[in-house]
Chain A
Amino acid sequence: MYVRWWLLLIPPFVISFTLVAASQFVFLESSFFKDLGLGRIGDEFVLDNYVQFVTDSFFLRALWVTIKTSGLAALFTLILGFPVAYMIARMRSQWAMILLAGIVISTFITIVIKVYGLIVIFSANGMFNQALLGSGLASRPFSIFGNTSGVVIGLMHFTLGFGVLLLYSIVQTIPKSLEDAAQIHGAKRWRVYYRVIFPLALPGITAMLLMVFNMCMGAFTSAALLGGGRVFTLPVLIQRTVMMDIKYSLGATIAAVLLVSVIAINILSIFLVRRMRAAHLVMV
């Protein structure tokens, strides 16, 4: 007899959908009603909250800071993660599996513990600053608290493991024989990267950059802990608006803007990469 096992999927689907989509809908819908403060919401359909967002330079700057820190974190995750992923993917000993396992495990450590690790290392008299001042390279300690560099470092700390794993799987799809072929036919090492590895990895790199960027756009903990109340990214702002100012519909508006900008940037990036590929700009 044919058993319709998929019917079993319906209850969990309904529960998940209700919890995620319905609550999101209710929350985001409130952004279209006037915020009366102290958690009260008007019943007239208006765009006041959105007008407030786009006319207040504070909100616009927060949007820009969020995009900037997320973009930088994604870029540096690529720059730091690619060599690591490449080495592991090309290793032929069992060390590759051990290193990969280490990265997976470190990815599962909660960001709170990771950030406290950063605080220990980067505090005014921590290891990093003692080495920096001791070597005479700088005369003042380098601080990662309350500035965007700190937030970028914190975000990267959160995404680097994912980034390496994604890049690893991308490099693995590029046969080693293509590198051999490029080398034996005269390509210098950097030319092998430029003409073979990079173009072949490009679709995967784009996906990895977008995933890391999206993770960062929504990241609250590292931004809140390292921003120290001075760097406001949109997730931090949503938390403050909802929890401290008790302005629900304004908080919902910020969330809606965040959501729309993430979707818009993703679509735009995919479109741009398609255009580049079609024009063979990155192929020669």
Chain B
Amino acid sequence: MSGVVLKGVTKKYGPITALRTMDLRIEEGEFITLLGPSGCGQTTTLRLIAGFIDPTSGQILLGEDDITDLPPRKREIGMVFQDYALFPHLTIKENVAFPLRERKSDPSKIDQRVSELLDLVRLPGVESRYPSELSGGQAQRIAVARAVAYPPRVLLMDEPLGALDLKLRETMQIELRRIQQELRITTVFVTHDQTEAMTMSDRIVVMNDGRIEQIGTAEEIYDHPVNAFVADFVGRINLFDGVLVGRDQDQSVVEIFGGVRVKVAGSPSEEEKKLCIGIRPENLELLPSDVGATQANVINGTVVGRTFSGNLVDFYVEVGNNQPVLVEVPAARRSFEVGDKVQIVWGAEAGVVLGAD
């Protein structure tokens, strides 16, 4: 097992740049997720590590070894594909044993190893079945068993849960994480699902338009997004464009919607007059319009929409901006109807300052 290092890797298809200069160090035994909208370069990155495509420039290291010019089969990598890519004409046993046979494992130990692997993915006794006889979740487990059969130095997973329904996805997220930790295997996971990324990963690499926007743990990225893209892609957020108009101790005073002044913790550097502040909907609170508010920030508005999702209620509040503000309220406190006049209140520490872009 080893870490992976990408050094200044780029990939161009003719005039189209799929991956801008990419520098990334994946630590040994780490579960790292490449997160971003489809086509942002995560799958390209994965296929570059696998060796299915060659980088236009740059270097890829596996541990200490430069693997940039090695064909896929010599990279000692395991991979789980989006469509699982199980061999339909081979039994489950032969599918799982495929890497063992191709990499010349001792044939007398293959049966033993296959049954160990099926135990690992908690699907014992399916050796003689064919892939077409398995459900989506089972095929997924077999794909993982095959990928780790001949212990790879790195495990790659390309949106492996995309085809599963929600319940199964959640089970498989936990399962994949368990298997990864049991084997302590360096794992690179690609997804466009932020919940999946946050629940599974040690670190998340947020990508957009062929480049890395931010690298960090789920908490770091959720609480301290570096820009509006990351803030908006990971979780939900209200973004307000504003102008810095003053300071109040360690808080900044920002004017939004051309008049309303709000306070935000922290102070951006002097030059940044124009900026963007982001506030997560769960950090906002709603009060009836006739109650005196004690919080640092208050905006008046009217409820224009309400959606109920079981444990939470989303309120859309019109505040004179072009976009209604989203406020997330625990379902127990949903005491407003569409048309009610309300106050949106929040503390100064609830907002984050993002560079305007």
Contacts and interface: CB of A to CB of B under 8 A. Distances in A.
Given A180-B72, A191-B102, A185 B89 contact: no
Contact of A177 (B85, B149, B150): B85
A93 to B, nearest CB: 10
A185 B98 contact: yes
Contacts of B103: 185-186
Given A181-B81, A183-B73, A200 B102 contact: no
A184 interface: yes
A200 B82 contact: no
Contacts of A178: 85, 87
B88 A186 contact: no
Interface string A170-199: 000001011011111111100100011001
A181 B83 CA distance: 11
Nearest to B79: A184
Q: Is the interface of A mostly helix, strand, loop or mixed?
A: helix
Given A191-B102, A284-B94, A184 B78 contact: yes
B150 A185 contact: yes
B98 A183 contact: no
B73 A177 contact: no
**Which of B50, B83, B102, B146 counts the most chain A CB atoms within 10 A?**
B102
A184 B72 contact: yes
Contact of B75 (A175, A184, A187, A188): A184
Contacts of A175: 83, 85
A180 B49 CA distance: 13
A92 to B, nearest CB: 10
A67 to B, nearest CB: 30
B242 interface: no
A138 interface: no
B150 to A, nearest CB: 7
Contacts, number: 68
Interface residues of A, number: 19
B308 interface: no
B41 to A, nearest CB: 18
B331 interface: no
A186 B75 CA distance: 9
Given A186-B99, A186-B150, A187-B102, A180 B73 contact: no
Given A185-B98, A186-B99, A200 B89 contact: yes
A115 to B, nearest CB: 40
A185 B78 contact: yes
A183 B85 contact: no
Contacts of A177: 81-83, 85
Contact of B50 (A182, A184, A187): A184
25 contacts: A177-B81, A177-B85, A178-B85, A180-B81, A181-B81, A181-B87, A181-B146, A182-B98, A183-B71, A184-B51, A184-B52, A184-B75, A185-B73, A185-B78, A185-B99, A185-B149, A185-B150, A186-B98, A187-B98, A187-B102, A191-B102, A195-B87, A195-B98, A199-B89, A200-B88
Q: Which 3 A-B pairs have the closest CB atoms?
A: A186-B102, A181-B85, A185-B99
Interface of A: 175, 177-178, 180-188, 191, 195-196, 199-200, 283-284
Given A186-B99, A187-B73, 10 more contacts: A177-B81, A183-B52, A184-B51, A184-B72, A185-B78, A185-B102, A185-B147, A186-B98, A186-B103, A186-B150
